[in-house]
């Protein structure tokens, strides 16, 4: 029996959570699908959608707001005061990939291609020679949005044969404009063909489509890996793994009216390109939702200030597990291992928001949940990535702690984590949200 199957779970989640994560990843090829699937799961737990354009009431219970590829959800316990602090788990719904350009129909030398733009810091070579689908949303003349997902082989970015590039194995150099345009057929190029195909697949009239947000996704299903099934391979773990865990943790608290905090899920879009969007962490969405919740419960600005001062956010995003083939790229005293529990991410230059006080909060949650945890810090010679953590701390004045799950192949079309770590993270998040 594998360690992943035999490790006892101290919290509400076990290996079944990882099984469910696989289904969530497969069903969420775009941020818009991730939001829709998260909302569906929350509604099953009794949460209800509230519209930003309508007046909000101060009733208790679970509520959520969606905007494009972002979702904010919160649970107000019965009798919560206007100044009740929040416990927030922050994450992001987007992943690096290839996204369709406004004029997508392209071709050369008898090949029909799709014009794509590189989104985020993707590992370009991982998109080569894969069967690719297309997903996202179409916008119609009436302003409505329709989710679309062509989950069958439609596209492929073909690599140049080694006979024509003898130095490929000595250092592959890909031109982002010339070499990453997928093929999808043969023949003459006709303007509007791609969108017409996507619309027809969704049962829509192409004449009604006036806008689109479409992106490429790899078709291989998530799968357990290894002799003992201790590993999990799949797409978009950065950062749907955290979105899934946070949504599960929040849903598990529905109906709990003994909570000292208001638990919140804040899943943003566009983290991978800087978060500067109305659906990103740089935007006003989170602050607006939290403030409106305070005011809907009869609070004033003083209550808002008191609530924010007592609020803590865990920014949950994937981090780097020690790589067996490149161990020298890691800090010599910090080697996070898969299935070793969630990681606490530290950077004194504030690429992560964690400080000593935040460490104590995270350690207490893990101890309460019976979950092991690890520390991550970058090698001084390696530039450090960043997250929504510092943005959330600076924009809202909220104490923020950066955490996550250690993975390999980050920003690949297919990433790798330990099969235990998703449910260990979820159990730690439950303990944190409960306070």
pLDDT at 7: 60
Size of the chain in residues: 435
How do 262-268 and 70-76 pair as beta strands?
A: antiparallel
Residue with the two structure tokens 């291989």: 220
d(CA 231, CA 237): 13
Confidence of residue 8 (pLDDT cuts 50, 70, 90): low
d(CA 281, CA 395): 9
Total Cβ atoms within 10 A of residue 122: 19
pLDDT at 382 over 90: no
Confidence of residue 78 (pLDDT cuts 50, 70, 90): very high
Ordered alpha helix ranges (H), 121-201: 193-201
**Residue 106 bridge partners (DSSP):** 113
Give me the mean pLDDT over the 67-93 stretch.
98
Angle (nearest 5°) at CA 147 between 142 and 149: 140
pLDDT at 325 over 50: yes
Tokens of 221: 């299903």
pLDDT tens digits along 236-288: 999 999 999 999 999 999 999 999 999 999 999 999 999 999 999 999 999 99
**Does residue 410 sit in helix, strand or coil?**
coil
Give me the mean pLDDT over the 118-137 stretch.
98
Q: Are 34 and 244 in contact (CB under 8 A)?
A: no
pLDDT at 105 over 60: yes
d(CA 383, CA 377): 11
**Of the candidates 259, 281, 273, 365, which has an alpha carbon nearest to the alpha carbon of residue 72?**
281
Burial, 391: exposed, middle or buried (Cβ in 10 Å; 0-12, 13-18, 19+)? buried
pLDDT at 9 over 80: no
Residue with the two structure tokens 């949950």: 316
Ordered alpha helix ranges (H), 278-318: 285-296, 301-309
Q: What is the mean pLDDT of the chain?
A: 95
* CA 368 to each of CA 247, 279, 323, 363, 435: distance values in angstroms, whole numbers, following the listed order: 20, 33, 30, 9, 10
**Does residue 298 sit in helix, strand or coil?**
coil
pLDDT at 5 over 80: no
d(CA 63, CA 87): 15
According to DSSP, residue 132 is labeled E
pLDDT at 295 over 70: yes
d(CA 221, CA 245): 19
What is the phi/psi pair of residue 376, to 5°? -125, 135
Tokens of 21: 């994560």
Give me the mean pLDDT over the 340-368 stretch.
95
Give me the mean pLDDT over the 204-216 stretch.
97
* CA 159 to each of CA 90, 125, 155, 178: distance values in angstroms, whole numbers, following the listed order: 37, 9, 13, 12
Ordered alpha helix ranges (H), 152-284: 193-201, 237-251
d(CA 14, CA 428): 12
Burial, 172: exposed, middle or buried (Cβ in 10 Å; 0-12, 13-18, 19+)? middle
pLDDT tens digits along 142-155: 999 999 999 999 99
Longest dimension (CA), the chain: 72
* CA 144 to each of CA 39, 68, 176, 205, 249: distance values in angstroms, whole numbers, following the listed order: 18, 12, 33, 13, 31
What is the phi/psi pair of residue 333, to 5°? -110, 5
pLDDT at 383: 86
**Does residue 97 sit in helix, strand or coil?**
strand
d(CA 218, CA 29): 9
pLDDT at 373 over 90: yes
């Amino acid at each position: 029996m594998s360690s992943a199957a035999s490790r006892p779970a101290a919290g509400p989640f076990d290996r079944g959570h990882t099984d469910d994560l696989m289904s969530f990843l497969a069903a969420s090829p775009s941020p818009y699908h991730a939001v829709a699937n998260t909302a569906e799961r929350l509604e099953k737990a009794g949460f209800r959608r509230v519209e930003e354009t309508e007046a909000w009431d101060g009733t208790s219970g679970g509520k959520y707001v969606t905007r494009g590829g972002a979702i904010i959800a919160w649970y107000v316990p019965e009798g919560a005061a206007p100044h009740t602090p929040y416990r927030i788990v922050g994450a992001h719904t987007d992943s690096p990939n290839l996204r369709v350009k406004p004029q997508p129909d392209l071709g050369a030398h008898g090949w029909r291609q799709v014009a794509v733009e590189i989104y985020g810091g993707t590992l370009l070579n991982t998109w080569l020679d894969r069967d690719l689908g297309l997903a996202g949303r179409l916008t119609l003349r009436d302003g409505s949005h329709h989710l679309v997902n062509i989950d069958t082989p439609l596209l492929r970015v073909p690599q140049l044969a080694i006979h024509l590039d003898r130095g490929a194995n000595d250092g592959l150099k890909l031109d982002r404009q010339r070499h990453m345009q997928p093929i999808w057929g043969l023949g003459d190029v006709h303007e509007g063909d791609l969108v017409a195909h996507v619309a027809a697949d969704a049962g829509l009239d192409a004449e009604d489509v006036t806008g689109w947000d479409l992106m490429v996704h790899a078709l291989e299903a998530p799968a357990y890996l290894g002799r003992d099934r201790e590993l999990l391979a799949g797409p978009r773990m950065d950062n749907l793994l955290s979105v899934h865990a946070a949504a599960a943790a929040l849903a598990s608290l529905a109906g709990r009216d003994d909570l000292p905090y208001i638990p919140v899920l804040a899943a943003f879009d566009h983290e991978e390109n800087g978060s500067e969007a109305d659906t990103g962490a740089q935007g006003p969405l989170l602050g607006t939702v939290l403030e409106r919740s305070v005011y809907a419960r009869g609070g004033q600005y003083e209550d808002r200030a008191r609530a924010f001062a007592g609020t803590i956010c865990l920014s949950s995003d994937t981090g780097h597990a020690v790589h067996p083939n490149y161990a020298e790229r890691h800090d010599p005293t910090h080697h996070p291992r898969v299935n070793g529990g969630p990681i606490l991410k530290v950077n004194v230059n504030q690429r992560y928001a964690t400080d000593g006080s935040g460490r104590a909060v995270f350690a207490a949650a893990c101890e309460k949940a019976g979950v092991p945890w690890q520390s991550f810090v970058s090698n001084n010679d390696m530039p450090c990535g960043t997250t929504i953590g510092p943005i959330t701390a600076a924009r809202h004045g909220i104490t923020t702690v950066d955490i996550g799950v250690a993975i390999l192949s980050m920003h690949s079309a297919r990433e790798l984590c330990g099969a235990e770590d998703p449910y260990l993270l979820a159990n730690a998040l439950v303990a944190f949200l409960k306070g």
